[in-house]
């Protein structure tokens, strides 16, 4: 295996090899250091950061299991893989988890140019038997939010403050567009195209669009002011200004920065399970859980906290 393919492997599966400048395969192919760098970048971009992190975790589990058993993780014996899959299945792992393990094991073996144990008849039959024994039905999906749920959620946000204006826009736009959390925070101001009856969002890359062809999502004007996503976004844009760059940015104190929110720092309301606001939560209350970029105020000793405003699990962000 040439050193360029190291970029395609999980970190724990990368063998110690010389630098690309000492690789005889690259020299034989007549590649320059610039060629090698370009190819390496393309190989690294073949999978998203999230996929690579997932591969690292799955390969680490397999490698530790093999180390405990005193067997080789690569090249692996097909019967070793069969033992691993059956043990994991007996421990209650879902069929999808076992399939992911096979995918990663296959990927590493093929990348290293060694025989793929997953292609063996023994592993194929064991996987088939585990599907019949344990089933492959997906887990029950959570109940999707209704417009009434969203109305109750945004009712607990103080939409006079910068945080509240921004967070209401994120929640309502995410619900109306069915976009994932990562897609929402990746939007730039230039990706929003106003239309007579709403707006058009240009999504440059999505989880279901790994090749980056781009998608367009139309969002219509809402019928009710409280849940109108277009009006909420316009309110945020008026506050944010028309400076090119990230659509949704961090807020430091009361100052709106140009720093983009990330999938990890976007309002928790875009990913956590939604609940109805407690009866004591009135509109205008501090939207503490919707402002992760500022430290929350400590609870008052004289008036114990009655709970946080709910966090919605929109159709888009739940899968992010």
Chain segment 134-172, per-residue pLDDT in tens: 765 555 666 788 888 889 999 889 899 999 999 999 999
Amino acid 128: pLDDT: 93
Q: Of the candidates 167, 291, 185, which has an alpha carbon nearest to the alpha carbon of residue 236? A: 167
12 occurs within a structural domain: yes
Contacts of 280 (CB under 8 A, 6+ apart): 306, 307
My answer on whether 305 and 189 are in the same domain is yes
67 occurs within a structural domain: yes
The string of DSSP codes covering 32-44 is -HHHHHHHHHHHH
Between 266 and 233, the higher pLDDT residue: 233
Q: Of the candidates 182, 179, 175, which has an alpha carbon nearest to the alpha carbon of residue 201? A: 179
Count of domains forming the chain: 2
My answer on whether 301 and 215 are in the same domain is yes
My answer on whether 169 and 75 are in the same domain is no
Say if pTM beats, i.e. exceeds, 0.85.
no
Q: Say if residue 186's pLDDT is above 60.
A: yes
My answer on whether 195 and 293 are in the same domain is yes
142 occurs within a structural domain: no
My answer on whether 67 and 93 are in the same domain is yes
End-to-end distance of the chain based on CA atoms, in angstroms? 34
Amino acid 6: pLDDT: 66
| Alpha-helix runs per DSSP H in 121-266 | 121-134, 147-155, 162-177, 181-185, 229-240
Q: What does the longest C-alpha to C-alpha distance in the chain come to?
A: 77
My answer on whether 37 and 157 are in the same domain is no
CATH (domain of 76): 1.10.150.130
Count Cβ atoms below 10 Å from residue 235 Cβ, excluding itself.
17
Query: To the nearest whole number, what is the mean pLDDT of the chain?
Result: 77
CATH (domain of 269): 1.10.443
My answer on whether 128 and 208 are in the same domain is no
My answer on whether 283 and 178 are in the same domain is yes
Which of 93, 112, 134 delimits the end of a domain? Answer: 134
Q: Which helix (H) or strand (E) holds 219?
A: strand 215-220
My answer on whether 41 and 70 are in the same domain is yes
CA 194 to chain centre: 27
What span, in angstroms and rounded, lies between the C-alpha atoms of 129 and 79?
A: 15
What percentage of the chain exceeds 90 in pLDDT? 40
Amino acid 192: pLDDT: 93
My answer on whether 238 and 128 are in the same domain is no
What is the domain extent for residue 112? 3-134
Q: Say if residue 273's pLDDT is above 80.
A: no
My answer on whether 103 and 169 are in the same domain is no
Which of 103, 134, 165 delimits the end of a domain? Answer: 134
What percentage of the chain exceeds 70 in pLDDT? 68
Q: Say if residue 312's pLDDT is above 50.
A: no
Count Cβ atoms below 10 Å from residue 292 Cβ, excluding itself.
18
């Amino acid at each position: 295996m040439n050193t360029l393919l190291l970029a395609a492997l999980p970190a724990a599966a990368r063998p110690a090899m010389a630098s690309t400048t000492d690789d005889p395969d690259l020299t034989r192919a007549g590649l320059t250091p610039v060629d090698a760098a370009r190819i390496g970048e393309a190989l690294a971009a073949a999978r998203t950061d999230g996929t690579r992190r997932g591969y690292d975790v799955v390969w680490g589990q397999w490698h530790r299991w093999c180390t405990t058993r005193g067997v080789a993780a690569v090249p692996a014996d097909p019967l070793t893989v069969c033992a691993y899959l059956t043990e994991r299945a007996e421990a209650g792992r879902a069929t999808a988890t076992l399939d992911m393990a096979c995918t990663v094991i296959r990927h590493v073996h093929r990348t290293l140019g060694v025989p793929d144990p997953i292609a063996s008849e023994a592993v194929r039959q064991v996987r088939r038997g585990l599907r019949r024994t344990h089933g492959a039905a997906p887990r029950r999906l959570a109940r999707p939010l209704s417009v009434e749920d969203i109305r109750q959620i945004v009712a607990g946000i103080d939409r006079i403050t910068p945080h509240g204006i921004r967070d209401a826009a994120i929640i309502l736009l995410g619900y109306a567009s069915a976009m994932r959390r990562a897609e929402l925070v990746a939007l730039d101001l230039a990706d929003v195209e106003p239309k007579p009856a709403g707006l058009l969002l240009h999504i440059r890359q999505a989880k279901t669009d790994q090749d980056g062809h781009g998608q367009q999502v139309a969002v219509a004007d809402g019928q009710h002011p409280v849940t109108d996503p277009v009006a909420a976004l316009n309110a945020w844009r008026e506050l944010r200004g028309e400076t090119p760059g990230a659509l949704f940015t961090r807020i430091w104190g009361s100052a709106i920065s140009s720093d983009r929110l990330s999938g990890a720092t976007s309002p928790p309301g875009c990913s956590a399970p939604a609940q109805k606001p407690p009866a004591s939560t009135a509109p205008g209350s501090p939207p503490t859980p919707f402002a992760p970029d500022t430290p929350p105020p400590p609870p008052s000793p004289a008036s114990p906290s009655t709970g946080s405003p709910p966090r919605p699990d929109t159709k888009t962000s739940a899968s992010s």
